[in-house]
Amino acid sequence: MIGGGVIGCSIAYHLARRGAGVVVIERETLGSQSTGRCAGGVRRQFSSGPNVAMQQLSVRLLAGLEAETGVDPEFRHIGYLFLLTDERDAEDFKRLIPMWHEHGLNDARWVDPAEVRELAPLVTGDDILGATFCPSDGIASPHAVTSAYAGAGRRLGVKFMEGVAATAIVRDGARIAGVKTTDGDFATPHVFDCAGAWSREIGAMAGVEVPVDPYPRDIFVTDPMGSMRQHPMTIDFATSFYFHPEGDGMLFGMGKKGETPSFSTEVDWTVLDSMAEVIERRAPRLGTIGIQTAWAGLYEVTPDHQPILGPVDDVEGFWCACGFSGHGFQQAPAVGHLLAQWYAGETPEVPLDIFAQRRFSTGIVEPERNVV
């Protein structure tokens, strides 16, 4: 396993449960990169059916995580609210509701602007046409989930090597034969690329095209705001501005327009200026309160905003688990479970075909549209 974020830790644990011997090679410390900088959102309101199915599974696994590993994932079901201001987006989301229900997401529903204000007291704006709301979605702790899988994996014999970088992948013809690291070489017929924003580099070491690019994202957390702890995770879909309770304050962030890939994780304070107009229009109270802290992390983005999962065709033994495009924390429980099923020769209970790496050469893609 190359990469010890939430994805590598989840897969390692699920493989070890099925009796596999696993080594996790992590250049920094477990969960310290994108995982440790993420907003903790867990939702099922995706546009593509396989993502909804995968998220149903993740939520089920999170519900059982404490019983399974002894660690509470701190999943708070504050709900997820997608605010819609564009007619086409609103129609699109309305059309998705029956699909969500087919996948068992029965409490997802359309809410009108008056109810939006009741549910989300920070929200303002006469341009809101309505929203979709799923009260059982929410936020969980990336730290807790990662340490749950790491701890339980360790007890099952997984070897975690922190502060060790993979530097090369050895092939025997078209097969994986080993991994070279800064702390020695390993012979192995299988490598999982769980290197998050750096997954393209790991692919290149094996001669595999892994189209994942890094895009920095900033998060800001406000000073205490009183009784907002039950405020739903709220996403202004047209702008991708989002916010949710974090401790006694609110956490917020937004995507960037016209950005180019970069590995920079310095906080870009100018983002606050570019967000000022949206904050003023959508949640003005956030603009009147101090910022307690801020940090930046990397999204790991694919061209269709879908993850790349499973073994690749051209190099036997090279598995991808990367490219989560900003949703990897919530997908980690399901991804670990499903890839371990696949590895063990079972049929993954959620079909993973649309996530295969070959889609970038066949051109058969089903992009995810509900991205933030």
Q: How far is CA 72 from the centre of its chain?
A: 19
Alpha carbons 242 and 82: distance in angstroms, whole number: 9
Of 9 and 122, the one with the shorter C-beta distance to ligand FAD is: 9
- What residues contact 179, with CB distance under 8 A and at least 6 apart? 2, 25, 166, 168, 169, 170, 185, 186, 188, 191
* 138 touches ligand FAD (CB under 6 A): no
Of 88 and 257, the one with the shorter C-beta distance to ligand FAD is: 257
| Helix residue ranges per DSSP H, the chain | 6-17, 49-63, 65-69, 87-102, 113-119, 142-155, 199-206, 270-282, 328-343, 359-362
- What residues contact 208, with CB distance under 8 A and at least 6 apart? 193, 312, 314, 315, 318, 320, 357
For ligand FAD (CB under 6 A), the number of binding residues is 41
* 195 touches ligand FAD (CB under 6 A): yes
| Number of Cβ within a 10 Å radius of residue 181 | 18
Of 152 and 298, the one with the shorter C-beta distance to ligand FAD is: 298
* 79 touches ligand FAD (CB under 6 A): no
Residue 115 CB, shortest distance to ligand FAD, in Å, is: 24
* 134 touches ligand FAD (CB under 6 A): no
User: For 124, phi and psi rounded to 5 degrees?
Assistant: -130, 170
* 327 touches ligand FAD (CB under 6 A): yes
* 305 touches ligand FAD (CB under 6 A): no
Alpha carbons 206 and 183: distance in angstroms, whole number: 19
One character per residue 252-271, x = contact with ligand FAD (rule: CB under 6 A): -x------------------
Alpha carbons 93 and 109: distance in angstroms, whole number: 10
Of 90 and 243, the one with the shorter C-beta distance to ligand FAD is: 243
* 299 touches ligand FAD (CB under 6 A): yes
Of 3 and 79, the one with the shorter C-beta distance to ligand FAD is: 3
Strand partners, 34: none
Of positions 194, 206, 251, 315, contacts ligand FAD by CB under 6 A: 194
Of 129 and 294, the one with the shorter C-beta distance to ligand FAD is: 294
Residues 28-47 contacting ligand FAD, CB under 6 A: 28, 32-35, 37-41
**Residue at shortest CB range from ligand FAD:** 5
Residue 163 CB, shortest distance to ligand FAD, in Å, is: 9
* 335 touches ligand FAD (CB under 6 A): no
* 89 touches ligand FAD (CB under 6 A): no
3 state DSSP class of 130:
strand
- What residues contact 159, with CB distance under 8 A and at least 6 apart? 22, 23, 24
Stretch of residues binding ligand FAD (CB under 6 A), selected from 56-64, 96-104, 122-130, 193-201: 193-201
* 241 touches ligand FAD (CB under 6 A): no
Of 84 and 202, the one with the shorter C-beta distance to ligand FAD is: 202
* 222 touches ligand FAD (CB under 6 A): no
Residue 9 CB, shortest distance to ligand FAD, in Å, is: 7
In terms of Cβ atoms closer than 10 Å to its own Cβ (0-12, 13-18, 19+), residue 273 is exposed
Residues 147-166 contacting ligand FAD, CB under 6 A: 165-166
Is residue 151 within 8 Å of residue 295, measured between CB atoms?
no
* 8 touches ligand FAD (CB under 6 A): yes
- What residues contact 331, with CB distance under 8 A and at least 6 apart? 7, 51, 54, 55, 58, 307, 324
Residue 203 CB, shortest distance to ligand FAD, in Å, is: 11
Q: Which two tokens stand for residue 83?
A: 């605010």
Alpha carbons 240 and 85: distance in angstroms, whole number: 12
Instruction: Give the residue among 41, 54, 35 at the shortest CA–CA distance from 310.
Output: 54
Strand partners, 219: 295
Residue 37 CB, shortest distance to ligand FAD, in Å, is: 5
Interface residues toward ligand FAD, by CB under 6 A: 2-8, 25-28, 32-35, 37-41, 165-166, 194-198, 217, 219, 253, 297-300, 322, 324, 326-330
